[in-house]
Amino acid sequence: MNGGMLEVVSGRHNAGIDPGLHVWGWEVPVYLFLGGLAAGLLIWSAWIEIASGRRPESQALRWGPWLAIVALTLGMGALFLDLAYKVHVWRFYLAFKPSSPMSWGSWILVLVYPIAGMAGLGGTSPEERALVGTALQRVHLDGVFGRLVGWADSGRRPWLGASMAVGIALGVYTGILLGSMASRPAWNSGLLGPLFLVSGLSTGAALLLLLHPTPRERHQLAGWDGVAMGVEVTLLALLLLQFATSGQSGLLALRELTVGAHGASFWSLVVIGGLLVPLAVVLLERFRGLPHTPLAPILVLFGGIALRVILVSAGQATGFRAL
């Protein structure tokens, strides 16, 4: 102290002081979006077949499980890019910790591949099976392929049930991954698991609608997509209400999402553009007989990725300000 002045030296801005404040970039919201999309594809491709009692009539539904595998693989690739110690990723699979959402998620991701693969094989057409079998003859794997198809056919309904179960687990997990971090006010909610699941259902239905399903399948998908969007609006309203009644940290999250730096994008891209407008289009198509257009599905997909980008960014912003 010199001349009545007190000098305080702080290392707070040193990156090593708060290692938990690692800033997530684009990789994490992309992973969360693609994981939710994969969950929706698995659930709808299985549920529509179970409900109708008929094998998929269109390529859109037959491709659903395979598209889920592609989406999840791309999402895991994005998540891998975000890892600080990439060579240690295999350590997630050396143990299972029931109290760790990441441990649950790691094993759910592993289960998706065989279950989605068997669900997809069971839905292939005779022509597709013949084409793949002929190609595999060259490497003498046609026998293995034939046995896998036999298992997929003989246990078709259990495989569809497993596809729905792992899809639900995957969709909920993407929200729990954020909701388990209580230090971030905008993530500190048990509603994120159901919200991300319903959003994944909506985006999965939207993608299938863009892939030219049959009229019967389109009618089912559009109807369920409208229900999913309605539930998602309700969950978002409940989330904001929870923040409004959760003390100072909740009010911080509420202001950040509604009137703060993320307010304009939240209302325009998520609530209006990603939910209310496509919901209105679906209702007009269904009850006013308007022709189907790709407008609503495209808006739903953009709204799904916007929701995750905004929540991830807002959560980090509220975490910094709460320090």
Tens of pLDDT along the chain (323 residues) come to: 455 555 555 554 554 444 444 567 888 999 999 999 999 999 999 999 998 888 888 889 999 999 999 999 999 898 888 776 666 666 666 666 776 777 777 888 889 999 999 999 998 888 888 888 888 888 888 889 889 999 998 889 999 999 999 999 999 998 888 877 767 778 888 899 999 999 999 999 999 999 999 999 998 999 999 999 999 999 999 999 999 998 888 898 899 899 988 999 999 999 999 999 999 999 998 888 788 889 999 999 999 999 999 999 988 877 655 54
Q: Which domains does the chain have, with CATH numbers?
A: 24-321 (1.20.1630.10)
CA distance 242 to 222: 30
Please give the structure tokens belonging to residue 174: 């993407």
Is the whole-model pTM more than 0.85?
Answer: yes
Quote the DSSP letter at residue 262: T
CA 204 to centroid of chain Cα atoms? 9
Please give the Cα distance from 89 to 80 (Å, whole number).
Answer: 8
Closest of 253, 279, 114 to residue 182, by C-alpha: 253
What are 322's two structure tokens? 């709460």
Cβ atoms of residues 178 and 269 within 8 Å: no
